[in-house]
């Protein structure tokens, strides 16, 4: 009886264990080879059974012929890693989130070759306390590759960014990297909801920290920063690929949870003249991708907890990740890498812990889902 | 026999539903702001029946002070006795239903309610359900919403949940998303048994939240359940779904 009527979960776990047992003694490079080979075997047999352990091919810049074939000269491909939404309380209160962040740091440090840089996607702290931010800086300082910092609302609304800026500098900046113009935005400004209510800094932070708390305002880049962005882009030719980092998605997904940037359209308008634009954002703690005009969007994973998909507004190109298993503290979490091809097209690798990695290719988004569709979930959000 | 019990029940409901306008007691005064309660003569607090007329002064009760349950019951009994003496042979429910004054008690700020229609011959009359008035529904809704609101508070409050690591339910379940109460009971493979929603709430409290599981009758657990169900209003029951 037991053998004939195994649950989906049991069969999945057995298949998965079998694969992982075989992998245990392999080094990373061989692991990748085996992974690619077995994925190839599975594909060749036409077997992509949705009910067993699926192998997903890992991003390899060399495999992406579509991007390299049309590459512009002078923009060599490069890779960067990301860690996002660590939400660390001080470790004396909560070890779990610190462990998640440390695990991500170890993942990235194990990459060979090392990424050009590591983008931190915001929400380093949980309640924006100076000691949380200092602890966070300590954890990230263990990274071997250089770190590019972005701020999230959990870092900001206790002291309105004072400590964060003291530790990490200005919240918005830009730089050029191997022919790509990179912009880091501060997209989580909120209109003042606290003065009239006479809220303390801790109360203000707690309200912003509550995703479903309707008292807070919507996120915005703001007029001043948009002017800065316009000025920054004035010297960048339209043929230069753009890579933009924002904490909140730079489009409107779900207002009630601030999966949203109020002035998203105005920011998009500034990016529209450019041929290839990739926006990579945090905040949503899930596999999430979108294409609006020439702009490809990818959401980053969190290392603290996964969010469910919002009840409405999900971009149609997004393939949901399976619901997270609450019994596995690492499930639905992770970090990842982004491979930037010759034209600045970026493939996103979601390194999901305790799951198979998933790669979403720029070509998938640019073709509006016609090619390279990522595997479908078995269990979507309710 | 049965009908007598029902009449007694109805009377009990009428007492329970009769909001008392208490001068000085803020929470009541906000709900029933439309009655003009006479000033206290002997340093106590004037309590008024929701007919807007019958009132007594409770001695030694300062404005804002709470009465014990027993004393409050005695005061409402006395008010009802006073009303009955003034209205011999009348029934409270009928008298209130035929007035325009009774209904606005729970509709502060809303448009004035029209007077209750005279009993229609087209629908059945005289039984328990037929005798409930719109005001009853408002009382019930207010009570239910209060229960749900309390659940919402606990759901969002790591301390109230007893978390030792600062985690609350909403951190993974904004607006109770992905709690899918409509799918219980169902076999929970990780627990190796059929689970109810409350089993999963308790599991979450013990594990990710790192608190102590709540007793099935704990008001916090009951309120959490109420809040979670309230977020799924209109979703079809689908027990056993994975």
Any idea where the domains of chain B sit in the sequence?
2-106+124-131, 143-230
Spatial neighbors of B2 by CB under 8 A, at least 6 apart, are none
Spatial neighbors of A160 by CB under 8 A, at least 6 apart, are none
A345 and A229 fall within a common domain: yes
Closest to A115 measured CA to CA, from A86, A138, A147 = A147
Which residue is closest to B181 within chain A, CA to CA? Answer: A382
User: What pLDDT score does A152 carry?
Assistant: 98
State how far residue B241 is from chain A, nearest Cα, in angstroms: 11
Alpha-carbon gap, residue A63 to A29, rounded angstroms: 16
| B34-64 pLDDT, tens digit each | 678 888 888 888 988 888 889 999 988 887 7
CB-nearest to B156 from A8, A210, A311 is A210
CB-nearest to A9 from B167, B189, B204 is B189
Alpha-carbon gap, residue A219 to A191, rounded angstroms: 8
B203 contacts in chain A (CB < 8 Å): 326
Alpha-carbon gap, residue A340 to A353, rounded angstroms: 23
A373 within some domain: no
Q: How many helices (H) and strands (E) does chain A have?
A: 11, 12
Closest to A353 measured CA to CA, from A299, A305, A318, A314 = A305
CB-nearest to A212 from B175, B183, B207 is B175
CATH assignment of B143-230?
A: 1.10.760.10
CB-nearest to B165 from A9, A96, A212 is A96
A374 within some domain: no
State how far residue A94 is from chain B, nearest Cα, in angstroms: 5
State how far residue A211 is from chain B, nearest Cα, in angstroms: 6
User: What pLDDT score does B111 carry?
Assistant: 47
Q: pLDDT band at B168, cuts 50/70/90?
A: very high
- Is residue A358 a contact partner of residue B156, using CB atoms and an 8 Å limit? no
- Tens of pLDDT along chain A (382 residues) come to 445 677 777 777 777 777 666 665 566 666 566 556 555 555 554 444 444 444 443 333 333 444 443 444 556 899 999 999 999 999 999 999 999 999 999 999 999 999 999 999 999 999 999 999 999 999 999 999 999 999 999 999 999 999 999 999 999 999 999 999 999 999 999 999 999 999 999 999 999 999 999 999 999 999 999 999 999 999 999 999 999 999 999 999 999 999 999 999 999 999 999 999 999 999 999 999 999 999 999 999 999 999 999 999 999 999 999 999 999 999 999 999 999 998 899 999 999 999 999 999 999 999 999 999 999 999 888 8
A205 contacts in chain B (CB < 8 Å): none
Say which residue the tokens 């694969």 belong to: A19
> Which of A55, A70, A86 is the endpoint of a domain?
A55
Alpha-carbon gap, residue B90 to B229, rounded angstroms: 42
A228 and A268 fall within a common domain: yes
**Dihedral of alpha carbons B113, B117, B119, B124, sign:** negative
State how far residue B178 is from chain A, nearest Cα, in angstroms: 6
- Is residue A244 a contact partner of residue A280, using CB atoms and an 8 Å limit? yes
A23 and A139 fall within a common domain: no
A112 and A14 fall within a common domain: no
In this structure, how many other beta carbons lie within 10 angstroms of the beta carbon of residue B71?
12
A372 within some domain: no
How many CB pairs below 8 Å do chains A and B form together?
59
A379 within some domain: no
A382 within some domain: no
CB-nearest to B189 from A7, A211, A311 is A7
- Is residue A96 a contact partner of residue A358, using CB atoms and an 8 Å limit? no
A378 within some domain: no
> Quick check: B222 contacting A, CB < 8 Å?
no
Which residue is closest to A381 within chain B, CA to CA? Answer: B178
> Quick check: B167 contacting A, CB < 8 Å?
yes
Alpha-carbon gap, residue A321 to A167, rounded angstroms: 34
Q: Which CATH number fits the domain that encloses residue A237? A: 3.60.21.10
Q: Give the structural domain span for A35.
A: 1-55
A350 within some domain: yes
A198 and A306 fall within a common domain: yes
> Quick check: A323 contacting B, CB < 8 Å?
yes
**For residues A209-226, b (16+ Cβ closer than 10 Å) or e, as one string?**
bbbbbeebebbbbbeebb
A274 and A223 fall within a common domain: yes
A28 and A170 fall within a common domain: no
Q: Which residues pair with A78 in a beta bridge?
A: A340
Alpha-carbon gap, residue A56 to A375, rounded angstroms: 8
- Put simply, the chain A residues between 151 and 210 with a CB less than 8 A from any chain B CB are 210
Token pair for A233: 């882009």
> Quick check: A7 contacting B, CB < 8 Å?
yes
Helix axes A130-140, A95-109, angle to 10 degrees: 30
Closest to A337 measured CA to CA, from A145, A128, A181 = A145
User: Helices (DSSP H) in chain A: which residue ranges?
Assistant: 8-23, 28-44, 65-69, 95-109, 130-140, 153-156, 162-168, 201-209, 223-233, 264-271, 362-366
> Which of A29, A55, A81 is the endpoint of a domain?
A55
Which value does ipTM take for this structure? Answer: 0.81
A206 and A235 fall within a common domain: yes
| CA-to-CA separations, A178 to A4, A115, A272, in angstroms, rounded | 56, 13, 21
- Is residue B168 a contact partner of residue A211, using CB atoms and an 8 Å limit? no
Token pair for A75: 């923009």
Classify residue A279 by its DSSP letter. Answer: E
> Quick check: B166 contacting A, CB < 8 Å?
yes
- Specify the long-range contacts of residues B35-40, CB closer than 8 Å, at least 24 apart: none
**A326 with B204: Cβ contact below 8 A:** yes
In chain A, the number of structural domains is 2
| A330-378 pLDDT, tens digit each | 999 999 999 999 889 999 999 999 999 999 999 999 999 999 999 999 9
State how far residue A344 is from chain B, nearest Cα, in angstroms: 35
A118 and A193 fall within a common domain: yes
A377 within some domain: no
């Amino acid at each position: 009886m037991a053998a004939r009527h195994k649950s989906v979960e049991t069969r999945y776990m057995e298949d998965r264990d079998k694969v992982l047992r075989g992998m245990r003694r392999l080094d990373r490079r061989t692991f990748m080879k085996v992974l690619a080979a077995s994925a190839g075997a599975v594909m060749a047999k036409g077997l992509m059974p949705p009910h067993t352990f699926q192998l997903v091919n890992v991003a390899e810049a060399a495999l992406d012929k579509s991007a390299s074939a049309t590459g512009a000269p002078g923009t060599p491909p490069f890779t960067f890693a990301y860690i996002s939404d660590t939400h660390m309380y001080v470790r004396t209160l909560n070890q779990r989130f610190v462990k998640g962040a440390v695990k991500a740091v170890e993942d990235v440090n194990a990459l060979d070759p090392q990424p050009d840089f590591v983008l931190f996607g915001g929400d380093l702290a949980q309640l924006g306390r100076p000691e949380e931010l200092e602890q966070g800086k300590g954890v990230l300082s263990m990274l071997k590759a250089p770190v590019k910092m972005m701020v999230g609302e959990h870092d900001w609304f206790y002291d309105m960014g004072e400590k964060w800026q003291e530790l990490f500098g200005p919240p918005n900046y830009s730089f050029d990297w191997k022919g790509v113009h990179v912009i880091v935005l501060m997209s989580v400004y909120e209109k003042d909801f606290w003065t009239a209510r006479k809220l303390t800094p801790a109360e203000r932070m707690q309200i912003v920290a509550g995703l479903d708390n309707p008292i807070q305002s919507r996120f915005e880049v703001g007029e001043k920063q948009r002017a800065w962005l316009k000025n920054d882009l004035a010297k960048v030719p339209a043929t230069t690929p753009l890579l933009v980092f924002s904490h909140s998605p730079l489009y409107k997904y779900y207002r009630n949870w601030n999966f949203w940037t109020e002035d998203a359209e105005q920011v998009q308008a500034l990016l529209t003249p450019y041929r290839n634009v990739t926006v990579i954002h945090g905040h949503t703690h899930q596999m999430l991708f979108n294409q609006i005009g020439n702009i490809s969007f990818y959401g980053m994973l969190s290392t603290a907890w996964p969010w469910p998909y919002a009840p409405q507004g999900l971009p149609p190109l997004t393939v949901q990740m399976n619901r997270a298993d609450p019994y596995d503290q690492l499930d639905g979490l992770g970090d990842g890498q982004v491979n930037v091809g010759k034209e600045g097209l970026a493939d996103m690798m979601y390194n999901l812990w305790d799951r198979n990695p998933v790669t979403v290719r720029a070509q998938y988004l640019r073709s509006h889902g016609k090619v390279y569709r990522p595997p479908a979930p078995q269990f979507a959000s309710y | 026999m049965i009908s007598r019990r029902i009449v007694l029940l109805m009377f009990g409901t009428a007492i329970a539903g009769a909001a008392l306008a208490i001068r000085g007691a803020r929470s009541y005064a906000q709900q029933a702001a439309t009655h003009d309660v006479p000033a206290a003569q002997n340093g106590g607090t004037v309590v008024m029946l929701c007919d807007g007329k019958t009132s007594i002064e409770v001695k030694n009760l300062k404005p804002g002070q709470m009465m014990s349950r027993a004393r409050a019951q005695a005061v409402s009994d006395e008010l009802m006795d006073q009303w009955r003496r003034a209205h011999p042979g009348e029934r409270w429910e009928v008298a209130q239903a035929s007035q325009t004054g009774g209904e606005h008690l729970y509709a502060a700020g809303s448009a004035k309610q029209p007077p209750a229609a005279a009993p229609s011959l087209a629908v059945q009359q005289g039984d328990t359900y037929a005798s409930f008035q719109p005001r009853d529904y408002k009382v019930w809704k207010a009570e239910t919403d209060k229960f749900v609101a309390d659940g919402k508070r606990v759901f969002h409050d790591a301390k109230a949940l007893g978390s030792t690591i600062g985690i609350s339910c909403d951190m993974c379940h904004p607006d109770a998303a992905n709690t899918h109460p409509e799918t219980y009971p169902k076999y929970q493979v990780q627990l190796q048994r059929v689970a109810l929603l409350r089993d999963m709430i308790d599991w979450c409290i013990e594990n990710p939240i790192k608190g102590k599981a709540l007793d099935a009758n704990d008001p916090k657990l009951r309120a959490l359940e109420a809040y979670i169900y309230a977020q799924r209003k209109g979703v079809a029951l689908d027990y056993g779904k994975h």
